[in-house]
Amino acid sequence: MKLKGLIILFIVMIFSVSLKAQENSNPIFPKMGKTDTIRVTSTNDNGVMIPWMQLNEVSIYAARIWKSPQEQAAFNRLRYNVLKVMPYALFAKRRYEQLERDLLTAPEKKDQKNLVKQCDKEIKDMFNREIKDLTITQGQILTKLIDREVGRTTYDIVKQTKGGFAAFSYQIIARVVGHNLKSTYDKDEDRDIESIIRSSGFYQ
């Protein structure tokens, strides 16, 4: 009797597994409505297809409480300066990324030098038009933001594109007027700047 019972139990287990396999082989899809025209990803959950789609990241910020009117005024000045120079940092990012792509498709050193010169000219033209009028504080913020966007300091970029001597020379000039081309960006140290950027709409 015991052997017969084990055999029956074994058959039942096989039968149930077979049924489950059949259920999974014919998944159940949700019914489509007349206006359901957007294709989305779905996941098979025990034979039932569950549609889902990835949503964009949503940042929630609490209302900031200021310790004093002076602190709020300082933050407002910082916000103005960040929004002033952020477009230049984004331009540097796009232009530098474009230069790297162009250099990969230009095996000849002569062509590479021409690409670097063209990039340098575009940045200099923008400098002569707009960046030269930035304040010392705005320039300091800009060097930090370039490191944030490009992932490399302004000093490293100049060193790669124009050589170590040029980077050294530019750094000396920058230090005279209160800048540091080696400035790096730290999300914790520069949390106010990060907060301003995240709430500014530049990445929407």
Q: Mapping DSSP to helix (H, G, I), strand (E, B) and coil, where does residue 166 land?
A: helix
Q: For the segment 109-156, what is each residue's pLDDT rounded down to a tens digit?
A: 888 888 888 887 777 777 667 767 788 888 889 888 888 888 888 888
Q: For the segment 17-57, what is each residue's pLDDT rounded down to a tens digit?
A: 444 444 445 666 666 666 666 676 777 777 777 777 777 77
* Contact assessment for residue 133 and residue 79, using Cβ atoms and an 8 Å cutoff: no
pTM, two decimals, is 0.62
